[in-house]
Structure 1
């Protein structure tokens, strides 16, 4: 009995211990998140990284490794990403797996550590506008300060970050200066303290950091996030708006609701969908857009111009509300409107007579007499008939033919009253007469 009691007591104690410290072996296992930063930096990428960082924080991850391979992108998106990375308490590491240029360099500088693979590059961070030209002095000043601040916050010499954005800084030993922006190779970055080391691949990095036995969690971009990143791309936005405006304009000139209207409405809905998924807009912008479309349709039934004007302004306002960059949205709208006007003219003038679709919405026939279009019956039976003027013809007046008064015109000459005339031409209601000379 005593032995049984002892065994039972041991079992109970072990059970209690397991409840107090369950899976003690797994509790010591480290969790490391690996998050890709690829392609163009835009607002869709910011929304994806916010989700990834939130997941890592909830999982109490040891660190987040950002697999960087980007040529750069939007400055405002890069600024948001930099704020996100410096705002988390987790250890952040940039793994430059080919290139971290422009906004990519700024993002990397906002992480705690940077590692690069052989042959990778980082730098060349000039700020340019949507046309590929250098931005204005105000934007450049902001970007120079942002690059410097990112380097200082991460404990790196800011002169190299400034040289990445300012071609006037002379660093000839690194190939910068005299009109050239600084771009660091993996060896140069390690030399100037902009990299903590050079590694062959991700596995080599994990081993170097002591995470070779950690649980690696890869955060992949969902289809919705990929679509949002594509739809919020600075080049795609004006294309969507051009298709939308052109489709709706063509729909106004065609009967019913057909392909142009569907294409235009779909393009605009994709625009709002991308901004909704990226977290740039709320449903209020979509409601405002729908209200604007409704007011424009109401204009067809309640003429006056007020409803249509308010509807147009509501649509424009919804576009600006969906974007956090008024300048970029204004440029996109200008591009869309200009392209829509030019394409409309091109399709009507060049393709209007060749394509069946455009023949349905464009009037190409002329109402000529040769084609049977007359406003009055053409009285051909009067040609050659004689009559008498009852009023002078100057050159128009009235004649009498078999007791019927007829409005007529002369061939140009004045014909007095009570003169004999002969009808020489009839064109609908126009009766042309010629005076008959008196016979001596």
Structure 2
């Protein structure tokens, strides 16, 4: 029997001495006296809206545009007609056009029943402007808002004059919203302008708390007008990008406030704010739901419609959606959809011109035209004069193609008028307070030009393909004659000269040349000194091109390019 191998006692003691500290460390109790307090949202503020009304829910999602403005106004009217006692705007938007947002903000303040903004899950830029126009504001868990500085998609930076013109009405609207609905103005100011710091201060005598910028903070906490002036004058490096518009200045501090306020270092959520500073001004202010509750922008955290009904004391709720026509109009108002409709319109027109009497391509073109102008009319952007202007341009184009020799000034003028009508039909119908300096106006104009450029380019490519392969496309090969008739004298195809626009007898296979300035696809050919009206099967032919007759149907003479003219 082999002897047992035992671990020496000294080795056991050594292992125990190494393991014991690790076990003690993992099982040691946490010192609760030094632990950071858990972060909890501030207690919800009770709603000031009288209970008992029916709640109408209006979703505002996507980019805010002039088109959305008209749809919001219609839904507000429908909600009121259905007996809404409270209108809740459910926001999920990255922002949008400044001019449209200013108009919608004023419209919201004119609604005759209480309004509530529900940020669920985000409302940036123009979105927070609309939300601040409501009587109350609540947010969903982890929702966010802020970052409302005006920008342009066409340029990385606005010029000082343009930025000043954009900021002036924006800040004025935020100030009015804050005054009407009991908000402090400083947070909204910091959302729009870099360099605006935000502080939470309190009056020890009254317990009143206010959110102020750095100039008011120096005056109301430190009581030093000279220091406040130095602070205000030293802000130019961060904020003086718009000729002084939007720079922090004395807003609410009066002589009786100097030195009588103190900073609030701990927020209701438990977050610390050293010296009362909420925002350092190095970026545009953006807040989540807990911080929004801390600074009293949001009154409560609401995640469901049921919670919303309970919080507002509503008797019930209903949703007011866009109609199917309005949803379709929104879809067709996108620039790439309009470009496709433009291609369909011109392609249908060209096919109908190439093969008169088919009707189907012409009907498709008319439907595309209805889409091009129907959607902006439904969205309140276009009116009848846009359609009339487009039809005038179209008439000039058709006149030049069918009745005049060559494509000249009349056709070019027609195309220009049609393009102009399409562009202005999607521009905001309401006058912008910023005029042509409105960044959104130029963004919308660029989108309209993109529609024309992409649509025109795609139409040219489509026309070239159809011109070459029209008879080989399965759908169109069934609509037009693709196989030429046998060349040579065929007695039953003889027709009298008085039956065609020419004279004498014609046969399939006879040769001639293009006599008019061109065939696009109609024009005149010359055979044995006689000029005869004819058409091609879609191909455009220049003056003097050799042709031969491939089909005769009544007084309709169809020709094609003759690549093998007879030898002498």
Shorter-normalised TM range: 0.5 to 0.7
Partner of 1:281: 382
- Relative to structure 1, the CA distance from residue 309 to residue 275 in structure 2 (aligned partners, 3 Å threshold; closer, same or farther) is same
In structure 2, distance between residues paired with 1:332 and 1:251: 28
Q: Residue 199 of structure 1 is aligned with which of 296, 302, 310?
A: 302
Partner of 2:129: 106
Q: Residue 339 of structure 1 is aligned with which of 428, 434, 454?
A: 454
Partner of 1:157: 184
In structure 2, distance between residues paired with 1:307 and 1:100: 49
Q: Residue 92 of structure 2 is aligned with which of 69, 76, 79?
A: 69
- Relative to structure 1, the CA distance from residue 71 to residue 230 in structure 2 (aligned partners, 3 Å threshold; closer, same or farther) is same
Q: Residue 295 of structure 1 is aligned with which of 392, 396, 400?
A: 396
Partner of 1:166: 193
1:262-281 → structure 2 map (5 Å cutoff): 266-281=367-382
In structure 2, distance between residues paired with 1:327 and 1:168: 27
- Relative to structure 1, the CA distance from residue 56 to residue 343 in structure 2 (aligned partners, 3 Å threshold; closer, same or farther) is closer
With the length of structure 2 as denominator, give the TM-score of the two structures: 0.51
Deviation per CA, 1:23-62: give whole Å up to 9, x if none. xxxxx96322211112222233222211122234445632
1:45-64 → structure 2 map (5 Å cutoff): 45-58=68-81, 61-64=84-87
SS in 1 for 2:386: helix
Q: Residue 347 of structure 2 is aligned with which of 247, 254, 257?
A: 247
**Residue 377 of structure 1 pairs with residue 567 of structure 2:** yes
Q: How many residues align?
A: 344
Shift of 1:346: 6.0
- Relative to structure 1, the CA distance from residue 352 to residue 292 in structure 2 (aligned partners, 3 Å threshold; closer, same or farther) is closer
- Relative to structure 1, the CA distance from residue 266 to residue 133 in structure 2 (aligned partners, 3 Å threshold; closer, same or farther) is farther
Deviation per CA, 1:184-206: give whole Å up to 9, x if none. 11112122232222223232222
- Relative to structure 1, the CA distance from residue 292 to residue 341 in structure 2 (aligned partners, 3 Å threshold; closer, same or farther) is closer
In structure 2, distance between residues paired with 1:182 and 1:97: 18
**Residue 96 of structure 1 pairs with residue 123 of structure 2:** no
Partner of 1:122: 145
Tell whether the 8 Å contact from 1:38 to 1:70 is kept in structure 2 after alignment: yes
Structure with the bigger percentage of helix = 1
In structure 2, distance between residues paired with 1:372 and 1:60: 75
Tell whether the 8 Å contact from 2:345 to 2:364 is kept in structure 1 after alignment: no
Tell whether the 8 Å contact from 1:82 to 1:106 is kept in structure 2 after alignment: yes
SS in 1 for 2:322: coil
Deviates more, 1:350-359 or 1:83-92: 350-359
**Residue 140 of structure 1 pairs with residue 163 of structure 2:** yes
- Relative to structure 1, the CA distance from residue 137 to residue 88 in structure 2 (aligned partners, 3 Å threshold; closer, same or farther) is farther
Partner of 1:183: 286
In structure 2, distance between residues paired with 1:331 and 1:324: 10
SS in 1 for 2:138: strand
Deviation per CA, 1:126-183: give whole Å up to 9, x if none. 43334584555455334433442333223323332232233444569556643x3221
Deviates more, 1:281-290 or 1:348-357: 348-357
- Relative to structure 1, the CA distance from residue 228 to residue 216 in structure 2 (aligned partners, 3 Å threshold; closer, same or farther) is same
Tell whether the 8 Å contact from 2:65 to 2:101 is kept in structure 1 after alignment: yes
- Relative to structure 1, the CA distance from residue 284 to residue 113 in structure 2 (aligned partners, 3 Å threshold; closer, same or farther) is same
Shift of 1:78: 1.9
SS in 2 for 1:300: helix
Tell whether the 8 Å contact from 1:126 to 1:134 is kept in structure 2 after alignment: no
Ranges in structure 1 where 5+ consecutive residues have no aligned partner:
1-27, 379-440
The structure whose RCO (Cα within 8 Å, separation 6+) is larger is: 2
In structure 1, distance between residues paired with 2:467 and 2:399: 29
Partner of 1:86: 109
With the length of structure 1 as denominator, give the TM-score of the two structures: 0.64
In structure 1, distance between residues paired with 2:75 and 2:174: 24
Q: Which structure has the greater CA radius of gyration?
A: 1
